[in-house]
C-alpha cells in the first residue's frame, strides 16, 4: 500500500477549513438523506426489509467457504474463469496477466471499490496500460488525479464550477460550461470513443450468486454495461464476501442497496452476467474472468463479532448520515473506504497501527447503525477497535497492529488512577490537593494535549470539595 502515513489531524483541519468543500458536502448529504427517507417512508416495512437483508448476509457469511467453492464451480461450468488472490498485489498481477495475454493497452473500467483497494489504475499505468474510468464521477476525479471521496458518488466533493474548469482545461476542445447537461454531453462524447476502442473491460461485482454462478452489477449510466459487453474480455474483481447463496436473495438486497444508496426504487440497469459469449451469440466478451480478493477478509471473518463488517453491501448510507463524514468528506480519512464503514473496515484491512486513528473519527451517535441496511453494529466494532488499540495481548483474533497506542506515560497515569481509587487515604489526599489547586488549574498553560482540547473549550476548574466529601457532609452513609 502506498498510504502508510496519514496525517489525520492535518487532514481534518484542512477539510474543516475548506468552506467550499463544506458547502458541497452539506447540500449533497442532506439531499441523499432526504431521498432515502422518502423512499423508505414506511418504517415498519423498512425494518422488515432490513431484518431480511441482515439474515441473508448472515446466512451467506456463515457458509462462506462452501459458497465460494460453489460459486467457483458454477462459474467454471458457465465458462467464467475464476482466480483467487490473497493480496491486492496478486490481484493486480492476475489482471495484468490477462491484459497482456490479449496484447491490450486500453482498459475501460466501470466503478469498483475493490479496484480502488487494489490501486489497479496506478499499477496498470506503471505498466504502460491506459485504465480509463468511465463512470462519470470516477472519470471526473481521474481527470484531476484524485481518488473517490464517496463510495457511491465519487466526485461529490466537487461542484459544477470546479468540474467546468476541469473539463475545459483537461479535455481537448471542450468549451467552458457550467450547465450540467452540457458537461454530461462532453463526457458522453469522449467516453463513447473509449467504449468503442476498449480492449478489456474491468468491473466490480455487487452480488455474486453461488447457486447459478451469476455476477450482478447495479448502475444508472450504462457505462457498466458498456465495459462488460463491448470489449472482447471482461475482468470482474470482487471482495470474497460479496457472495450470496441463492438467486432469490438478490431482490431484497437490490432494493436495500438502491434505496439506501440514492433513494431509488431501482437503478436504470441491473445487469446479471452468467457466462461469456456463447457460440452463435453476436456480442458480449468472449472471455469473462472473476478475481476473488481476500486482502485480510478471511481474517476478519474468523472473528464472530468483526465478521459483521463483511455484511456490508457498500451503499454508502452510513456516510450520508455521519456527522463526521458530512463535515470532512472522504479524502480526509486518507484511505479508500471513508466514513463509518471505512472506519471499521480499513483498520482491520490495513492494521490498527496504520489506520487505527480512523476508529476515533466517530461521535458514537449511532446514526450509521440506524440506517445500515444490513444492521452492521458499527459502534460496537468501533469500540472493539479502540479497545484493541490499547491491548497488546496476542489473542488469535486480535486485529492487526493492535496495542499500537500503548505508551508508558498513559499506562502509568491509569495505574496511578486505579491505585488512587482503590486506596481510600490516597484518594482523599488527591482530592484535597486538586481541590486546593482548584481554580488555578484552569489557568494551566495550554500546551500538549491541552492545546487541542482547549482550543474550543474552557478548561473546567476542579471543585474545592470532592463529591465524596460533599456526600459525607450531607450525612449520606458511606457503604
Partner 1 sequence: MSNARANILARLRAVAPQEPAATPEPDFYPATKLGHAERIAQLKRLMEHMHAEVIVTDPQHWIATLKDVLRARQVNGLLYGPAGPLGAALEANWDSELPPLVGYTEEVEQCKERLFALDAGITSTRGAVADVGALMLWPDANEPRLLSLVPAVHIAVLEATHIHDSLADAIARERWAEGMPTNALLISGPSKTADIELVLTFGVHGPKELIVLVLDDERG
Q: Please identify, using beta-carbon distances, which residue of 34 and 122 lies nearer to partner 1.
A: 34
- Complete DSSP assignment for 19-69: HHHHHHHHHHHHHHHHHHHHHT--HHHHHHHHHHHHHHHHHHHHTHHHHHH
Please say whether the dihedral angle defined by the alpha carbons of residues 172, 184, 115 and 269, taken in this order, is positive or negative.
negative
The answer to whether the CB of 269 falls within 8 A of the CB of 227 is no
| Segment 358 to 387, residues that bind partner 1, using CB under 8 A | none
Residue 316 to residue 327: CA distance in whole angstroms: 15
Q: Quick check: 223 binds partner 1 (CB under 8 A)?
A: yes
| Segment 252 to 271, residues that bind partner 1, using CB under 8 A | 252, 254-255, 262, 265-271
Stretch that binds partner 1, among 222-230, 384-392, 404-412, 445-453 (CB under 8 A): 222-230
Q: Quick check: 23 binds partner 1 (CB under 8 A)?
A: no
Long-range contacts of 430-439 (CB under 8 A, 24+ apart): 431/465, 431/466, 431/468, 431/469, 434/462, 434/466, 435/462, 435/463, 435/464, 435/465, 435/466, 436/464, 437/462, 438/462, 438/463, 438/464
Q: Quick check: 273 binds partner 1 (CB under 8 A)?
A: yes
Residue 288 to residue 201: CA distance in whole angstroms: 10
Copy the grid coordinates of residue 123.
499499477
Q: Quick check: 236 binds partner 1 (CB under 8 A)?
A: no
> Minimum distance between the CB of residue 68 and partner 1, rounded to whole angstroms?
7
φ/ψ of residue 284, rounded to 5: 95, 155
| Segment 33 to 52, residues that bind partner 1, using CB under 8 A | 45, 48-49, 51-52
> Minimum distance between the CB of residue 160 and partner 1, rounded to whole angstroms?
5
| Segment 68 to 107, residues that bind partner 1, using CB under 8 A | 68-69, 84-86, 90, 93-94
> Minimum distance between the CB of residue 119 and partner 1, rounded to whole angstroms?
18
Q: Quick check: 118 binds partner 1 (CB under 8 A)?
A: no
Q: Quick check: 59 binds partner 1 (CB under 8 A)?
A: yes
Q: Please identify, using beta-carbon distances, which residue of 320 and 346 lies nearer to partner 1.
A: 320
| Segment 125 to 164, residues that bind partner 1, using CB under 8 A | 134-137, 140, 153-156, 158-160, 163
Q: Please identify, using beta-carbon distances, which residue of 231 and 356 lies nearer to partner 1.
A: 231
| Segment 162 to 191, residues that bind partner 1, using CB under 8 A | 163, 180-181, 183-184, 187-188, 191
> Minimum distance between the CB of residue 129 and partner 1, rounded to whole angstroms?
19
Residue 465 to residue 473: CA distance in whole angstroms: 10
Place of cell 461521535: 363
Q: Quick check: 440 binds partner 1 (CB under 8 A)?
A: no
> Minimum distance between the CB of residue 430 and partner 1, rounded to whole angstroms?
47
Place of cell 450540467: 180
> Minimum distance between the CB of residue 335 and partner 1, rounded to whole angstroms?
22
Task: Provide the Cα torsion 65, 67, 72, 73; round to 10°.
Answer: 110
Residue 86 to residue 99: CA distance in whole angstroms: 20
Amino acid at each position: 500500500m502506498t498510504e502508510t502515513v496519514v496525517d489525520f489531524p492535518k487532514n481534518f483541519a484542512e477539510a474543516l477549513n475548506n468552506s467550499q468543500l463544506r458547502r458541497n458536502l452539506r447540500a449533497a448529504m442532506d439531499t441523499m438523506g432526504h431521498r432515502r427517507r422518502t423512499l423508505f417512508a414506511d418504517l415498519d416495512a423498512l425494518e422488515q426489509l432490513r431484518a431480511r437483508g441482515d439474515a441473508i448476509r448472515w446466512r451467506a457469511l456463515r457458509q462462506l467457504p462452501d459458497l465460494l467453492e460453489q460459486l467457483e464451480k458454477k462459474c467454471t461450468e458457465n465458462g467464467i474463469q475464476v482466480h483467487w488472490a490473497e493480496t491486492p498485489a496478486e490481484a493486480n498481477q492476475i489482471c495484468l496477466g490477462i491484459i497482456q495475454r490479449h496484447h491490450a493497452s486500453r482498459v475501460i473500467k466501470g466503478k469498483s471499490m475493490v479496484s480502488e483497494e487494489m490501486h489497479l489504475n496506478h499499477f496498470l499505468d506503471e505498466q504502460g496500460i491506459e485504465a480509463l474510468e468511465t463512470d462519470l464521477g470516477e472519470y471526473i476525479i481521474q481527470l484531476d488525479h484524485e481518488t473517490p471521496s464517496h463510495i457511491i458518488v465519487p466526485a461529490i466533493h466537487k461542484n459544477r464550477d470546479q468540474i467546468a474548469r476541469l473539463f475545459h482545461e483537461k479535455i481537448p476542445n471542450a468549451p467552458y460550461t457550467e450547465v450540467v447537461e452540457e458537461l454530461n454531453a462532453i463526457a458522453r462524447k469522449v467516453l463513447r470513443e473509449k467504449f468503442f476502442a476498449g480492449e478489456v473491460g474491468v468491473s466490480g461485482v455487487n452480488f455474486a450468486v453461488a447457486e447459478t454462478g451469476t455476477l450482478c452489477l447495479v448502475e444508472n449510466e450504462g457505462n457498466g454495461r458498456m465495459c462488460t459487453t463491448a470489449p472482447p474480455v471482461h475482468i470482474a474483481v470482487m471482495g470474497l464476501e460479496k457472495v450470496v447463496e441463492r438467486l432469490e436473495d438478490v431482490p431484497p438486497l437490490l432494493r436495500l442497496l438502491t434505496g439506501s444508496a440514492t433513494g431509488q426504487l431501482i437503478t436504470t440497469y441491473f445487469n446479471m452476467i452468467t457466462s461469456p459469449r456463447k457460440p452463435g451469440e453476436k456480442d458480449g466478451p468472449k472471455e469473462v474472468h472473476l478475481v476473488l480478493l481476500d486482502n485480510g477478509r478471511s481474517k476478519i471473518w474468523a472473528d464472530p463479532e468483526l465478521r459483521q463488517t463483511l455484511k456490508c453491501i457498500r451503499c454508502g448510507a452510513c456516510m450520508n448520515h455521519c456527522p463526521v463524514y458530512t463535515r470532512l468528506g472522504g479524502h480526509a480519512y486518507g484511505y479508500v473506504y471513508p466514513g463509518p464503514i471505512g472506519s471499521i473496515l480499513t483498520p482491520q484491512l490495513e492494521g490498527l497501527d496504520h489506520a487505527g486513528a480512523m476508529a476515533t473519527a466517530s461521535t458514537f451517535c449511532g446514526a450509521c447503525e440506524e440506517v445500515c441496511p444490513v444492521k452492521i453494529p458499527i459502534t460496537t466494532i468501533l469500540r472493539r477497535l479502540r479497545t484493541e488499540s490499547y491491548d497488546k495481548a496476542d489473542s488469535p483474533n486480535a486485529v492487526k497492529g493492535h496495542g499500537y497506542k500503548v505508551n508508558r506515560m498513559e499506562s502509568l497515569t491509569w495505574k496511578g488512577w486505579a491505585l488512587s481509587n482503590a486506596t481510600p487515604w490516597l484518594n482523599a489526599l488527591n482530592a484535597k490537593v486538586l481541590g486546593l489547586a482548584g481554580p488555578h488549574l484552569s489557568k494551566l498553560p495550554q500546551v500538549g494535549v491541552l492545546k487541542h482540547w482547549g482550543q474550543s473549550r474552557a478548561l473546567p476548574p476542579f471543585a474545592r470539595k470532592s463529591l465524596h466529601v460533599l456526600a459525607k457532609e450531607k450525612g449520606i452513609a458511606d457503604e
